[in-house]
């Protein structure tokens, strides 16, 4: 997240209580929140519900959000906890929805693996947020949304060579950040 932009919006929100300002905050953060929720839930519908619950909680706490030292970390933890609580509630129903249909949850990871995975995902998100906007958009469309180079080029009004160059730039930056972490 762009911490300074978010901080400015949160101060505006605290002063005005405006739903329009909160809508700007929502638009700025929705995609990132969704990626975090999807990382845990692995289900589009559940991820949307998790994100909506997170924004509801943020709206309820809108007057105290400016007091938080790192809003980016706070939001990450908030979405993560809501996702984990949601998954726990769903697992009580004794089923987990996988891409290939309804099956029993059968694999458990160790706490160490879970912690490493969460830390690595946090580092990945921070690396993604460091990318220039166009570079990040190309990366997300190709790697996360599985669009083709031609689709991205057409939608963004750029050439496929530019798409490739932006993707390579994004991959290099993300690899460098992850390599320093690992």
Q: Residue 52: which pLDDT band, with cuts at 50, 70 and 90?
A: very high
Q: For residue range 66-75, list pLDDT tens digits in order.
A: 888 778 778 8
Side-chain half-sphere CA neighbours of 171 within 13 A: 9
Higher-scoring residue by pLDDT: 143, 50: 50
**Residue 155, pLDDT above cutoff 80:** yes
- Break the chain down into helix, strand, coil percent, rounded to 5: 75, 5, 20
From the list 35, 77, 28, 27, the residue with the least C-alpha distance to 57 is 77
Annotated domain spans of the chain: 1-107, 111-182
CATH number of 111-182, picked from 1.10.10.10, 3.40.440.10, 1.10.760.10, 3.40.50.300: 1.10.10.10
CA distances from 60 to 19, 36, 166 (A): 12, 21, 39
Of the listed ranges 26-30, 48-52, 61-65, the least confidently predicted one is 61-65
Q: Residue 50: which pLDDT band, with cuts at 50, 70 and 90?
A: very high
Query: In angstroms, how far is CA 68 from the centroid of its own chain?
Result: 19
What local confidence, expressed as pLDDT, does residue 103 receive?
46
- Three-state SS at 96: strand
Class (C level, CATH) for 1-107: mainly alpha
Asked if the domains 1-107 and 111-182 are classified in one and the same CATH topology, the answer is no
């Amino acid at each position: 997240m762009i911490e300074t932009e978010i901080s400015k919006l949160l101060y505006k929100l605290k002063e005005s209580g405006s739903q329009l300002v909160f809508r700007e905050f929502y638009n700025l953060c929705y995609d990132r929140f969704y990626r975090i929720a999807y990382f845990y839930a692995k289900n589009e519908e559940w991820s949307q519900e998790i994100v909506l619950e997170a924004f509801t909680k943020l709206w309820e706490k809108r007057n105290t959000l400016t007091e938080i030292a790192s809003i980016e970390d706070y939001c990450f933890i908030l979405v993560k906890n809501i996702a984990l609580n949601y998954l726990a509630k769903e697992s009580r129903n004794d089923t987990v929805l996988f891409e290939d249909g309804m099956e029993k949850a059968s694999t458990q990871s160790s706490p160490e693996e879970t912690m490493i995975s969460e830390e690595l995902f946090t580092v990945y998100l921070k690396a993604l947020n460091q990318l220039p906007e166009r570079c990040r958009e190309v990366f997300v469309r190709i790697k996360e949304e599985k669009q083709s180079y031609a689709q991205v080029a057409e939608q963004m009004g750029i050439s496929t060579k530019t798409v490739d160059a932006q993707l390579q730039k994004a991959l290099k930056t993300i690899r460098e950040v992850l390599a320093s972490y690992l």
